[in-house]
A and B are shown apart, each in its own frame.
Chain A
Amino acid sequence: MQTSENKTSAMRALWINIQKAPVRFLNAVFRHDWPNTDRTRSQAVFSNFFLHIHSTRIHERSLRFWSTCGLGIASLCAFIVLVVTGVLLMIYYNPSTELAYQSIKNIHFVVPTGRFIRNIHRWAAHLMVIFVLLHMVRVFYTNSYKNNREFNWLVGLALLVLTLGLSFTGYLLPWDQLAYWAITIGANIAQSPRELTDALGITQMIDLGGLQKQILLGADTVGQEALTRFYLLHVMVLPLVMSMLIGLHLWHIRKDGGLARPIEETDEKPARLLTGQEVTFQPSPTKTYGLMALVKGKTPAVDKGNENTVSTWPNAFYAEMAVFMMTCAICVLLSIWMDAPLKELANPVRPENPAKAPWYFLGLQELVSYSAFMGGIGIPTIVLIGLALLPFIDNSPEHQGLWIAGKGQKRVMMQSVLFGTLVVLSLLAFTIRFGWLRDWFPSISQIIITFVNPGTILIGLFMLWSLWMAQRHNSIRIGGIAIFTCLVVAFLILTYFATVHRGPNWDFYWRMSEWPTH
């Protein structure tokens, strides 16, 4: 009797448990109900692995468009789009010199949606480079790289280099003429320290250039070994490192006290939330911060009360969602508008003429046409070291989070735009009209050209200009603004110039229609 009763109740329990299983499953995953109050939403952000990279509350100021222009998130979104489309392309792509070009053609003409996905991948790559560069420009001009944020600025620089590295390695994979010759040039730039060691006569002892080319190509010329290595770097090594550094970069924003904002700002104006409400924030002196004793560095200023924070869910999430959809939309529209290029199959004995790198390297290619070592390695290294040292040299804490807000800064920026434009244009005009040292002294030693060429003169003039400005205004930050602005201007002009005005044989042409046909 008793056993049968037990049986029925066990059966009942089983039935009830089966009914409850979905709810229990959800509870096991989320551990709370659908969050619909500020408190539960904060809790949700705090306890969710994927969301906890956000702080639970965010300063209202950080959500304003002009604080960030959404550029960091947009870079991340482009990266996500690239990972997804990249994995899709890997299904059909074949990294062998015999099949690579055919498989890209397959993707383009045969694979369902293949052309569209490849276009998106290509455009998202361009967009990511643009977003990352603009993001750096934003962080610089809003003075957001100091006061505990020095290390994150360095991580950001590493991410910039990785972004360019991913673009460069991806460039070879289609194995067409454009790819082959751009990578041949790139690999020889890696070898170009020989220009210096040859001139000094020490290549026999230490051949840094040769080693760099060897590890990049695995051979003397671009071939199967190079394709294997570039593929490995492009689909695995660099994306892995990139993902880790992106995580570090985002985590550090939070640990460094959120997005930079002016310390001096104490407005009590009602804030407009993304949901449309107007909210006035009241001081909350009764708040307690139990765990804060354990946290070093920036913690919320408890006694001030004027925190002007809103909950991350949904305010920041809406903003992020908007940026993500915007990025996707731009990619899709560009992909419909224009196909990713595919030239003829790679031909190792006939270079493309002109053989141009992707646009973001064209400024460097212009410098490379003066000296391979200085343009390809020397000047980029100097610029990167300068950018890395920036937050340690310039640590004035005023006006963080505000666009070029200090006294005289806007003026110096405009002057630097003018100065940079003038210097770059006149050097270009001079070089095209009169040539350079070798045209006047044909037997001149290479080492002189390596160190005295339009590229190095440009950098030298920028440094002098920056020092003069810093001294005149008695401010290191102004010196920084002067040189950074000059570099941005030089990058833009050189990129434009090499894209539009350089034709076959790297000769100067006013218009592409003037290029000789053959």
Chain B
Amino acid sequence: MNDITRKPQPICRRDFLGQIATCACATALGLATVGMARLPFPAVIPGESSKVKIGHPADFPKGEGLWIAATKAFVFRDNEGFFVISGICTHLGCIVAQDPKGFHCPCHGSAFGNRGEVTKGPAPSALPWLEISLASDGQLIVDTQKVIPMGTKLKV
């Protein structure tokens, strides 16, 4: 068609600089976006202290677990000592209720045994046992953030 055959031209300086500038802008904006995406992830999780004083050991009778709203957990006392089972369902975070067989969740029908183990429903894991210890003033103190192995009890 055309009798002038074009040789492949080397990229001219103006185009080269233009492309470099575009790449630089894209990189800068991309990195800025990554930096900005960091902002919504909180550095400090807001909320009340995870350590809650729940009263003196003598306040707790043996037998049925006592619901302590501030910890969202049930405090138990038996012959071997104190233990705390979290009341937050491991399925989707509803608050479980106590029943003779253990616990059940009102939201999606999960059920847990007396030790918090899953017996029914969609909950993927057992209700966690929370750390309970004795504070220097003689009160029991529960740490809602610290999960301890099932079966660990506090002897007072």
A residues with CB within 8 A of B: 181, 184-185, 187-189, 192, 195, 198-199, 211, 214-215, 218-221, 223-225, 229, 349-355, 365, 368-372, 435, 438-439, 442, 446, 449-450, 504-507
Contact = CB atoms under 8 A, between A and B. Distances in A.
Contact of A507 (B41, B69, B109): B109
A214 B39 CA distance: 12
A371 B122 contact: yes
B125 A181 contact: no
B106 A353 contact: yes
- Please classify the interface of chain B as helix (H, G, I), strand (E, B), loop, or mixed, using the class held by over half of its residues: loop
A218 B44 CA distance: 9
Contacts, number: 95
Contacts of B47: 219-221, 223
Nearest to B40: A215
Nearest to A450: B124
B48 to A, nearest CB: 10
Given A195-B124, A435-B120, A442-B119, A184 B108 contact: no
A368 B122 contact: yes
B121 A218 contact: no
A350 B96 CA distance: 9
B45 interface: yes
A505 B41 contact: no
B85 to A, nearest CB: 15
Interface string B97-133: 0000000111111000000001111101100000000
B94 interface: yes
- Please classify the interface of chain A as helix (H, G, I), strand (E, B), loop, or mixed, using the class held by over half of its residues: helix
B91 interface: yes
A215 B46 CA distance: 13
Contact of B92 (A353, A368, A504, A505): A368
Contacts of B56: none
Given A218-B40, A220-B45, 17 more contacts: A199-B124, A214-B41, A215-B40, A225-B42, A225-B46, A349-B95, A350-B95, A353-B106, A355-B106, A355-B107, A369-B121, A438-B119, A446-B125, A449-B124, A506-B106, A506-B107, A507-B109
B61 interface: no
Interface in B1-44: 40-42
Nearest to B119: A442
B81 interface: no
8 contacts: A192-B92, A211-B41, A220-B45, A349-B69, A349-B95, A372-B91, A449-B122, A506-B109
B133 to A, nearest CB: 22
A423 B76 CA distance: 45
Given A214-B41, A349-B72, A372-B122, A354 B46 contact: no
